[in-house]
Amino acid sequence: MSEYQRKHKRKKRLILFTQLAIFILFITVWELLAKHGMINTFITSSPSNIIKTIINLYNTNNLFNHIWVTLYETILAFTLTLIISILISIILYKSDFLAKVIDPYLTLLNSLPKVALGPILIIWIGANEKSIITMGILITIIVSIQSIYNGFKNTPPIKIKLMKTFNASNRDIFLKLVFPQNIRTIVNTLKINTALCLVGIIMGEFLTSKAGIGYLILYGSQVFNLDLVMAGIFILIILSILIYKIITYIEKRLEKY
Amino acid sequence: MDTLVQIKNLNKIYESSDGNVIALNNINFDIHKNEFLTIIGSSGCGKSTILNILDGIDKDYNGKIILDKDIKIGYMLQEDALFEWLTVEENALLGLKILKKLNKETKNYTINLLDKYGLKDFKDKYPKSLSGGMRQRVALIRTLATKPDVLLMDEPFSALDYQTRLQVSDDVYRIIKEENTTVVMVSHDLAESISMSDRIIVLSKRPGKVKKIYTITLTNKSTPIENRKAKEFAYYYDALWKDLDKNV
């Protein structure tokens, strides 16, 4: 190993070490302050209380149920968003007229804070899981449609010309060029979607739910059990990291070219 | 000499919101079998339009294109336009596949071309691992795989740096001659045109008209790089330079 490589490696290790140190320091200080009564754990909770709460949830068999509910809603909303946005993007790509007509409406819907639609969803769909999943879809779908459609539209003209020199049909141009050309755009959109989708689901669970991590957090705050609120947030962090890792793995697998 | 294609009274008008633009004005010329014909002219004179019309992508024109029997036309574009998600071999077979002419025989023919022209070890690789020159060769083979009687080339080397460009034009020339292909190339590079062509058509600036047709006769004609040393080279260069409409 050269001097440069060694230096580079040392620097990387130092960064990782500092990152870990900050985390440990934060947790330790929090715990110590709580233990010595210097902060009010009724409001701030404490790391040990959070762990106790999680163990308690596990012992009463609720932990994985709540995680599963949120995960299931997220995956469903995510998958539906993906399918619907690809289908709509294809329709818009095929019809330039429709795309131009619909464009201002998409922009309008995009700038609307979707959470404002919550009350309407509950009245129209009902105070049930369907409303939560719809919220998850609503929050992600406009951005998905816009980025996938733009990807389709930005297919290099020279490649389309190439396909035409081989007398390719529109169907061939789409299936053999436009779609594969945009797999990456779609995966990137997925990456943004997962985080957004989770936001939508938690928002939905805040509005109406009987289970799920959003339910835990909301319930905790209503009964002023900050341990439960913090535990919910902690689980949510772990869950979002996990989902992110899965998507990054899929992305890597696709990156052979 | 066999004539493969006759272009008669070809006119092309572009309609736009600020009025019509005449792109091509009464173009007439023939394409002979096995010749290397180059069309030169300043940018915007409509030379690429001629190729688009010959290929059949552009059907909006006036005049007659008379093809000899049912000859096939292949088109090599300005950029290689390789698909990054397909291997070199899949890229080379793309045209055949879309034309629904992919069978054992045509596939073997294409793979043979890849082997023959230095891409043997790259068949299963993706385009990103190829050099600019190799990419251009794959693009050429993708077109040659469909066995065109006339190969159209639209500034095929313009995306390459100068040294690669010289090397690739030599490569492409060798492949074209070995496979006995008739070529119509569009270029704005005088030296390149003289070194490769049998005939050169000079187009005037817009509206494009045939200004002059040169038959290039070089002593000891060989590869494009060698041809640049021929004693007639400077004469043609000078003559073409004077004929070319300058936009500056």
DSSP state letters, A57-88: HHHTT-HHHHHHHHHHHHHHHHHHHHHHHHHH
Which residues sit opposite B43 in a β-bridge?
Answer: none
B84 → chain A, closest CA residue: A257
Q: What is the pLDDT of residue B11?
A: 87
Q: What is the pLDDT of residue A18?
A: 95
Q: What is the pLDDT of residue A37?
A: 86
Give Cα A199 to chain centroid, integer Å: 7
- Judged by CB atoms closer than 8 Å, whether chains meet at A158 and B146 is answered as no
CA distance A191 to chain B (A): 20
- All structural domains of chain B, each given as residue ranges with its CATH number in brackets, are 1-71+184-248 (3.40.50.300)
| Contact status of B99 with chain A (Cβ, < 8 Å) | yes
Q: What is the pLDDT of residue A256?
A: 65
Q: What is the pLDDT of residue B18?
A: 80
Q: Over 80: is that where the pLDDT of A1 sits? A: no
B52 → chain A, closest CA residue: A165
Give the closest of A158, A168, A256 to B98, CB-based.
Answer: A168
CATH number of A46-254: 1.10.3720.10
- Judged by CB atoms closer than 8 Å, whether chains meet at B81 and A167 is answered as no
Q: Is the peptide bond before A119 cis (omega within 30 degrees of 0)?
A: no
CA distance B67 to chain A (A): 17
SS3 (DSSP) at B5: strand
Q: Are strands B36-40 and B199-203 parallel, antiparallel or unpaired?
A: parallel
Report the pLDDT averaged over residues A106-116: 90
Angle between helices A213-222 and A226-254 (to 10 degrees): 160
Q: Over 70: is that where the pLDDT of B248 sits? A: no
Cα–Cα distance between B246 and A95 in angstroms, integer?
A: 42
Cα–Cα distance between B233 and A125 in angstroms, integer?
A: 81
- Judged by CB atoms closer than 8 Å, whether chains meet at B77 and A257 is answered as no
Q: Are B145 and B119 in contact (CB under 8 A)?
A: no
Instruction: Supply the DSSP symbol for B204.
Output: P
- pLDDT above 70 covers a percentage of chain B that reads 99
Give Cα A237 to chain centroid, integer Å: 11
| Contact status of B14 with chain A (Cβ, < 8 Å) | no
* Tokens 């201002």 -> residue: A104
Give the closest of B57, B84, B97 to A161, CB-based.
Answer: B57
Give the closest of B56, B77, B126 to A158, CB-based.
Answer: B77
Q: For residue A128, which phi and psi values (nearest 5 degrees)?
A: -145, -175
Q: Which two tokens stand for residue A44?
A: 């701030």
CA distance A188 to chain B (A): 16
Query: In A88-122, which positions are buried (b, 16+ CB within 10 angstroms) versus exposed (e)?
Result: bbbebbeeeeebeebeeebeeeeeeebbebbeebb
| Contact status of B83 with chain A (Cβ, < 8 Å) | yes
Mean pLDDT lowest among A191-195, B91-95, B189-193, B200-204? A191-195
- Judged by CB atoms closer than 8 Å, whether chains meet at A257 and B85 is answered as yes
Give the closest of A158, A168, A172 to B79, CB-based.
Answer: A158
Q: Are strands B36-40 and B182-187 parallel, antiparallel or unpaired?
A: parallel
**pLDDT band, residue B66 (cuts 50/70/90):** confident
Question: Model confidence over B73-91: pLDDT tens digits?
Answer: 999 998 899 999 999 999 9
Q: What is the pLDDT of residue B247?
A: 59
Q: Which two tokens stand for residue B177?
A: 């001659």
Q: Are A193 and A253 in contact (CB under 8 A)?
A: no
**Beta strands in B68-192, from DSSP E residues, in sequence order:** 73-76, 150-154, 182-187
Task: Tell me how far apart the 2 most distant CA atoms of chain B are, in Å.
Answer: 53
Cα–Cα distance between A55 and A228 in angstroms, integer?
A: 11
Cα–Cα distance between A48 and A50 in angstroms, integer?
A: 5
Question: Model confidence over A160-188: pLDDT tens digits?
Answer: 999 999 999 999 999 999 999 998 888 88
Residues in B touching A171 (Cβ below 8 Å): none
Residues in B touching A161 (Cβ below 8 Å): 57, 77, 81
Q: For residue A37, which phi and psi values (nearest 5 degrees)?
A: 65, 20
- Judged by CB atoms closer than 8 Å, whether chains meet at B98 and A176 is answered as yes
Q: Which two tokens stand for residue A218?
A: 């909301």
Domain boundaries defined on chain A: 1-39, 46-254
Question: Model confidence over A8-18: pLDDT tens digits?
Answer: 999 999 999 99
- Judged by CB atoms closer than 8 Å, whether chains meet at A166 and B146 is answered as yes
Q: Are strands B3-16 and B62-67 parallel, antiparallel or unpaired?
A: antiparallel
Mean pLDDT of chain A: 91
Q: Which two tokens stand for residue A22?
A: 């900050």
Q: Over 70: is that where the pLDDT of B241 sits? A: yes
Q: What is the pLDDT of residue A165?
A: 93
Q: Over 80: is that where the pLDDT of B153 sits? A: yes
Give the closest of B74, B81, B85 to A158, CB-based.
Answer: B81
Question: Model confidence over B17-63: pLDDT tens digits?
Answer: 888 888 888 888 899 989 999 999 887 778 888 999 999 888 888 88
Q: Over 80: is that where the pLDDT of B128 sits? A: yes
Whether ipTM > 0.85 holds is yes
Q: What is the pLDDT of residue B205?
A: 82
Interface test with A, best of B60, B83, B101 (most A CBs within 10 A): B83
Residues in B touching A151 (Cβ below 8 Å): none
B88 → chain A, closest CA residue: A257
Mean pLDDT lowest among A110-114, A214-218, A252-256, B52-56? A252-256
Cα–Cα distance between A225 and B1 in angstroms, integer?
A: 95
Question: Model confidence over A89-107: pLDDT tens digits?
Answer: 999 999 999 999 999 999 9
B148 → chain A, closest CA residue: A166
Give Cα B76 to chain centroid, integer Å: 6
